Structure 1
Amino acid sequence: MQNLFPKLWIFIAAVLLLPLLKAAEYEYYTWKPESDGRRQQCIDIPEDLRLCFNVGYKQMVLPNLLEHETIAEVKQQAGSWVPLVHKACHPGTQVLLCSLFAPVCLDRPIPPCRWLCEAVRDSCTPIMQAFGFPWPEMLNCSKFPKGDVCISMNTTNSDAMDKTTGVSSVCPPCDNEMNTDTILEHMCGSEFAIKTKIKEVEIDNLDRKIILQKRRKPVKLGNLDKQELKKLVLYLKNGADCPCQQLENLKNHYLIMGRGVGRQYILTGIHKWDKSSKEFKKALKNLKSHKCPAFESVFK
């Protein structure tokens, strides 16, 4: 079967603990689509399907709404989205994604409501843009129904979402800086990583331009050659106004990660180089042995 997705490199780095949604947070509306002739099957959601395990129901249906026919294909693609859920950019992110990747086991898969897609899109797009990614076509909200044939969230949660989006005020590449999993996920989503100090930070329209000190120690160069490393200037996309404590302290050494987007190099993660931190030491120790997921990327 032809893969529907382009690719996802995490853009976003960051990570850790979006409270899992309970079954009571879903509302299921009547849906009676025409059968496409394919045999539907219900299976238990496996524990290693991190995106949707413990999402609030135990069984999912295949093929899913993204035309994945095997659980292996689902796991390969769904894992790319875990960092976005961990960013907690909207309380309904996991509901939206799991309704597509792991639809609840009913007579037929039920699509998400358009309003839910639009709410998640509006809250999460700024986070994605910080890493140079657009909102993907696979989540084109106009494809989803407006009303009575879709998965939504209950009224209580909807009211709560109107009051807060859950978006962190910290610039996305700057948060959770001393968490091992975050550092490794940032690394997996980056093309290169270096140890260096920051010389100065300038505002460049809506971005921040990060000028590095001359002394730069490679940790992971990827496709970046030595000449490019010498000239390297990074941009914190849409970061002119959001807080980034690391960029306010120019005395420290930092583990700085990034990747090329167009003609710019985008900052994807920045962590204080602090070997007194057990989390940081653990991340460095596991860096070479850590296996980054070989995802087909979802964003282009």
Structure 2
Amino acid sequence: MTIAPQASTALRFLSLEITGRCQLTCPSLCYAASGPTRSHGSMSEDDWWRTIDQAVTLGAEEIQLIGGEPTLHPGFVPIAWHAVNAGLRVRIYSNLFRIRAEHWQLFEQPTVRLATTYHSSIAAEHDKITGREGSHQATRGNIIEAVERGIPLNVAVLDGGDHERAERARAQLQALGVHDVHVGKVRAVGNAAGTALPSTSALCGRCADQRATVLPTGDVAVCEIGRFLTAGSVLNADLQSVLSSARWAEACANVPRRRDPTACHPDCQPADSDSCDPGKNDPCNPMGYAPAATATATATATPAADVPTLL
């Protein structure tokens, strides 16, 4: 069932896909079809800062930085610190393949949360899924590092049909000390869609519900999974104008508003996290943040960025 909502500038959660570049290819799972040859897009660092400021004005409480692999963007560190200093909760979705010292400093901030995907407890299986030899060792090592540093970490295990593999991965993560682990199904978008055309059947039903996604091109989409439903660009207009436009209302009207209480569990994040579970008291607070009124950022300065590589 599809219900056409009115265009609205109400905003609580904004995903910023700051790059399409990634060290991994994930030929059968990547929702964004990212990879080593993809670009950082058309948005400059200043454009991302401006978008964050506009999101704050619209009432946003949380920003999510995604990609591709967001840490590969030359401006990742200052972009993230800009959001922290703006008083926002910041969720960073990283493959944890290559993490630098300044990244750990950022991840340790009290208003920052970290998320990643773990594909298998067996290195060869994990590496086959990511398309990069050594990715299992790197990601597993950085998961252990995050746990040892006391950094809140959400880990998704995507079940592409091999339930035993997924459950083995879940068990290993829990043994490593990761308490927030979710096994979710693969959505038929990006690489996982193969040659199929994008379809709203892959959407959970909470897209554009006080949330939006800005893509590397500046285009504003209903969510990162529904990237084929866009309605303008923050390179040509401010975020409020896009979210209050007739085009945005039309894009929202294409999202199936499901009445099944489990339909939104757990598909609003690329990690298949629990942020959209309508059965929770606060469906948009999956990571256990303090309320926006009490969450405070401790940082006062933006560290200099270190240009990352695809090592």
Same fold (TM over 0.5): no
Larger of the two Rg values belongs to structure: 1
More strand by share: 1
TM-score, scaled relative to structure 1? 0.24
TM-score, scaled relative to structure 2? 0.23
